[in-house]
Each structure stands twice: as structure tokens, then as C-alpha cells.
Structure 1
Amino acid sequence: MSTKQDRILIFGAGVIGCMYAIKLMEAGFDVTLFARSNKYKSLRENGLQYEDKGTVRSIQVNVIDTLENDDIYDFIFVTVRYDRSESALLALKDNQSKNVVTMSSNSMGFSSWLDIVGDRLLPAFPGFGGQIKDGVLHARFLPKIIAATAFGEINGAVTERIENLAKIFKIAKLPYVIKKDMQSYLITHSVSDIAMLSVLQSENKIMDKKTARTRRTARKITVTLKAYLRAIQKAGVSIDPPILKMVLHFPNLILDLFFMTWLRTNMVRDMMLPDYANNANNEIVLLSNDLMKFLNQNDIKSEIIN
């Protein structure tokens, strides 16, 4: 491992940040976690606790709650939700680290983020998920062919820092893919999240399990997803991953059956827990609002089912 790219700050000690911290530390990188208040205290006192094959384990991690401007890292991973991304970047604005990797959705492009951190910005998206229950991380891994960390330069170039980041992921045995159009990738991902997750809440109330598992709920996802995909296509967004292009050609009945199956999974059950759902709803609301701004800027009137 090169000593020039081994100092990493993970800004955000939620599910994604903690998962990257574990994997990168296990690979021998010098990892620091930025956390605040109770999370900072817990990590200091108990270490990073995680579930591994039914056993709760703990790993000690360097954790800070204040970042000095001259505290330099080779890469800063910003692992916060979209609704917190701008405030996180503002906290990093004067830090002199050269590479700021944003690990979140984005439904309207990078102009506001670039205004804050400039060309240090390197957009990315995590390749896994999970939950933290009672202070313990429960990771949720999908097959590598389905879920890999995506990252790339905004202009699509394969630069030296892209190659260096790829080396880090390779050493840590973390699946990754380099994208030439991160804006399209993130907007497409936002569309699928908005369509699939917004149905779980209505008027700030979490949907009950019985209603969530109905054909009517699945059909709402189907119709909304297709409408959004058509809208972003009209706005010039290249749908990525390409498999979502096929969604536009699938009969509604087939998609309904798929989403009815998805709505019965443990993943969706966890998403409907109050602590998870309330936080996720804040992100989905902002993603949806910003997506509509993006479509309006491109003179697209979408046929979204509200």
C-alpha cells in the first residue's frame, strides 16, 4: 500500500461511514472518523461496534469532533444523507485537504457543491447499506454485481486521483466502478429512491405494513418510477444503470409483482421503523424537491402521480 494515499477522514459516523471505516481499517489505512455529540462519545468509550455473524464485535477507531483547517487528509469521505450534504461541505470549506468524496444521492447536479469546495469535489455513491440498532452496526451487503461503490470525475476523465481512489478500494477489497457520468448516475438513483421510498410515508405518517404490501402501493411505485424516468430522459439524463431503461418497456403488471415482492422484504420492514423512516423521509423530500427544480430548469413537465 502506498503511504501517500493512506490517510482518510470519514466525515459522518452513520451506517455508511462506519462500514467504510471498518473495511479501510482492516486493510491497514489510517482512518479517522468525524462524529459529534453522543456518537462521538460512544465511539470514544466503546469503539465502533458491529454485528459479525451473530456476534457483536468492537474495533477501536480514531475519532474527532473538531477538524482543523491544516489537518490534511488524502481523501475525505463525506458520508451523510443528501439533506445534510451542504452543511457538511460547508464545515469542510476551509480545510486544506485536496479531495472531498461525497457519498450521497444528488438529484439536480453539482453546482451548489462546487460553489463550496470547488474542484476538490469527487462525487461518489456507496455500495452497501444497513442500520445501527442500539449503537451496533448491522451491515447489509448485496451481491457485488448489484452493489458497488461508484465514483468518477464530473467531467468523466480518469485522473490520477481517480486511479488512487481505485487502488484504495482494491486494497480494501471493496467492489467499485468508475463512472463517466456521475450526474446521470446519481439523478437516476435519486429517481428510483424517490419512487420506491416516498410511498412508505404519507402526510408525515409511516404506512402500515398491510397497506404497504398491497397491489395498489406497488402500482403507485410502478407508475411514479416510469414517469420520473421518462422525465429525466427528456432532460438529457442518460439512465444509469442501463437496466432501468428496460423498466420503461416492462408491462406494469410485471413491475407490480416485482414491487409487491420487494415491499415484503426485511429491508422494507426496517425502512418503516420510525427512527429510520423519519430520517429517510427528510432526505427523500429534499431529493424530490430538487429533482423538480432540475426538471423545471430543463423545461420538463413530468406526469408524476402525487
Structure 2
Amino acid sequence: MAAKQDRILIFGAGVIGSMYAMKLIEAGFEVTLFAHSNRFKSLRENGLQYIEKGTVRSIQVNVIDTLENDDVYNFIFVTVRYDRSESALLALKDNQSKNIVTMTSNSIGFSSWMDIVGDRLLPAFPGFGGQIKDGVLHARFLPKFIAATAFGEINGVVTERIENLATLFKKAKLPYVIKKDMQAYLITHSVSDIAMLSVLHSENRIIDQKTARTRKKASQITVTLKAYLRAIQKAGVSIDPPILKLVLKLPNTFLDLFFMTWLRTNMVRDMMLPDYANNANNEIVQLRNDLMKFLRQHDIKSEILD
């Protein structure tokens, strides 16, 4: 089967996959969502449901739960959590599509992913978030200066497929940024996620809202984040975005107050504590384990390794 122009598969119908599907369908692209179980059934029966100005709306989307090797797409977006990334890529290993865009964190580099899909791999990271409640998408779009979809070749070269992907995002009116060092960007992002989200889960359960708001939890984020940032710098990773370099210069007291404020936001209360922290715990654990492997590979000794 020959690939059609602007034909896109989104492998994973969670928050991120659903958000990209919604925006790309609105822009006129031919989009297919790969989903499993209840999510597959919901999308087939109700379409892609989402909240817009307080009202539940729906758009029709082509949804599949099996993928043939000769079912070819211009781009496949892999929008699963990091702990499911390798299994997703293994499912795509024999598919003949040439461009596989991994929309997920990565704290160790791309060797294992390339062993599966080779130079078809195009690392990226989504620029928005949200949650799905009762099958309905609640999207959270942020200003471009705060968050934009990041992508780039592993070697930093701006290739034809990078330009094509940029054109796709322009048509969909999705903010994006092309990165020259996606490994540095993803490792830095993983470090911040590990430091900030791991505090929401303790002793195999989500912490309560009162505990989350304490100075002790904020201080835990500060100390951990600084230690990780110093460690990846020693390993030769450029901190990206560069503004995070300020974290190493600011006093702990200032950062503690900043993270206390963050821990008291509605986003943490309504999304991360009841939903994301629980679902993402396996992801955060694997990100941390793989980051430790990465640091040991570079012979980095730090208080976070002890």
C-alpha cells in the first residue's frame, strides 16, 4: 500500500495522542488513532470527545487496534509513556512507514530505540498536556514561550523530513521548536520531571494534598533538581532549556518558595495528585533508573547515586 500525502498515525490514544489527533484533524490531515480496549471502544462509538468552552464536543476519527505492516503513513507519532516506549516501537518494528516520531521523555539516549526502528527514529516532545475524564479530553494549551512541541534529528541536522514535520505543525497551528540536541533536551526534561513528580508518590501511594503543600516536599524538589542538573552537566549534557541553569545559581530558599507555590496550584491538586502522579509513577521510576545508568556510564559520582 503506497503512502498518501499527509497521512498520519498516532500510536496511543491517551491525552497527548488525543490532543494531536484533534488539532491535526481540524487542520485537514488524514489521521488514524491506534487505541486499545475501552479507549478503542469509546472512540469508535462516540468519536473523539473534548471540552471546549465548558461544552462537550466530538469529532470523528478513524481508530484501529491492529496495524498491518504495509499500512504506511507519512509520520507515525508514538504518544505513549516512557515505560511503554520500547513495547510500542517493537509493535512498529516491521511496519514500512519511514518516519517514527517518539513523543515521550528519554533519560538515557536513543541506542535501544534505534536498535528497534533504526534511522526512522525522530525524537520529539509534546508541548501541552491535560487529562481524560470519563472518556472526555480536557486539554491544557500553554503559550509558546512556556511550551512548544520540540523535535529534531539525533545528529542535529535540519533534514527534509524535519522541514516537512515543521510544515505539518504550521498547518495545524501548533507551536514548535526545532532542536539541535534532542538528547540534551530530553535528559534535562527528564531530570525536572523526576525531581518534581517523584515527590507526589511515596511508599507506593499518592501523597495527600496537605503533605504535598509542605515546605519539606518543596525542599526535596530543590535539592534533588540541583543534584541532577549538576550530575548531567558533569556527564557533558548541555542543560536545555538554558533557563534551568539559573536553578544552580538561585538560593535554595527562593526555590523552595517557588516549588511550594507550584505544589499548591490547581494543576497539581486537580490533575497530578489524583490522576497523573499515580499513572505516571512507573514512568518516573524507569526514567530515574535509566538516568542512573546513563550517569554511571559516564562515571559520574553524585549524592543522588548514593
TM class by shorter chain equals: over 0.9
Kindly indicate whether the alpha-carbon contact (under 8 Å) linking 1:151 and 1:179 is maintained by their aligned counterparts in 2: yes
- 2:79 pairs with 1:79: yes
1:54-94, Cα deviation, whole Å (9 max, x unpaired)? 00001000000110000000000000000000000000000
Give the match for residue 207 of structure 1.
Answer: 207
Kindly indicate whether the alpha-carbon contact (under 8 Å) linking 2:4 and 2:74 is maintained by their aligned counterparts in 1: yes
Which has the larger displacement, 203-212 or 48-57?
Answer: 203-212
Tell me the number of residue pairs that the alignment of Structure 1 and Structure 2 aligns.
303
- 2:106 pairs with 1:139: no
Give the match for residue 65 of structure 1.
Answer: 65
Mind listing any 5+ residue stretches in structure 2 that lack a counterpart?
none
1:250-276, Cα deviation, whole Å (9 max, x unpaired)? 011110111000000111112110x43
Q: Distance in 2 between matches of 1:238 and 1:5?
A: 37
Kindly indicate whether the alpha-carbon contact (under 8 Å) linking 1:224 and 1:305 is maintained by their aligned counterparts in 2: no
- What secondary structure sits across from 2:245 in the alignment? helix
Q: Distance in 1 between matches of 2:143 and 2:159?
A: 28
- 2:270 pairs with 1:272: no
- What secondary structure sits across from 1:227 in the alignment? helix
Q: Distance in 1 between matches of 2:179 and 2:9?
A: 23
Q: Distance in 2 between matches of 1:141 and 1:253?
A: 30
- 2:244 pairs with 1:244: yes
Kindly indicate whether the alpha-carbon contact (under 8 Å) linking 2:35 and 2:64 is maintained by their aligned counterparts in 1: yes
Kindly indicate whether the alpha-carbon contact (under 8 Å) linking 1:105 and 1:186 is maintained by their aligned counterparts in 2: yes
Kindly indicate whether the alpha-carbon contact (under 8 Å) linking 1:195 and 1:225 is maintained by their aligned counterparts in 2: yes
Deviation at 1:203, TM superposition (A): 1.5
- What secondary structure sits across from 1:272 in the alignment? helix
- 2:241 pairs with 1:259: no
Give the match for residue 290 of structure 1.
Answer: 290
Q: Distance in 2 between matches of 1:6 and 1:227?
A: 44
- What secondary structure sits across from 1:137 in the alignment? strand
Amino acid at match of 1:34: F
Q: Distance in 1 between matches of 2:299 and 2:305?
A: 18
How many percent identity over aligned positions?
85
- 2:62 pairs with 1:101: no
Give the match for residue 152 of structure 1.
Answer: 152
- What secondary structure sits across from 1:304 in the alignment? helix
Normalising to structure 1: TM-score of the pair? 0.97
Give the match for residue 165 of structure 1.
Answer: 165
Kindly indicate whether the alpha-carbon contact (under 8 Å) linking 1:223 and 1:305 is maintained by their aligned counterparts in 2: no
Q: Distance in 2 between matches of 1:305 and 1:200?
A: 20
Q: Distance in 2 between matches of 1:212 and 1:36?
A: 33
Kindly indicate whether the alpha-carbon contact (under 8 Å) linking 2:56 and 2:136 is maintained by their aligned counterparts in 1: yes
Kindly indicate whether the alpha-carbon contact (under 8 Å) linking 2:51 and 2:138 is maintained by their aligned counterparts in 1: yes
Kindly indicate whether the alpha-carbon contact (under 8 Å) linking 1:72 and 1:96 is maintained by their aligned counterparts in 2: yes
Kindly indicate whether the alpha-carbon contact (under 8 Å) linking 1:226 and 1:247 is maintained by their aligned counterparts in 2: yes
Q: Distance in 2 between matches of 1:7 and 1:206?
A: 40
- 2:281 pairs with 1:281: yes
Deviation at 1:4, TM superposition (A): 6.1
Which has the larger displacement, 256-265 or 201-210?
Answer: 201-210
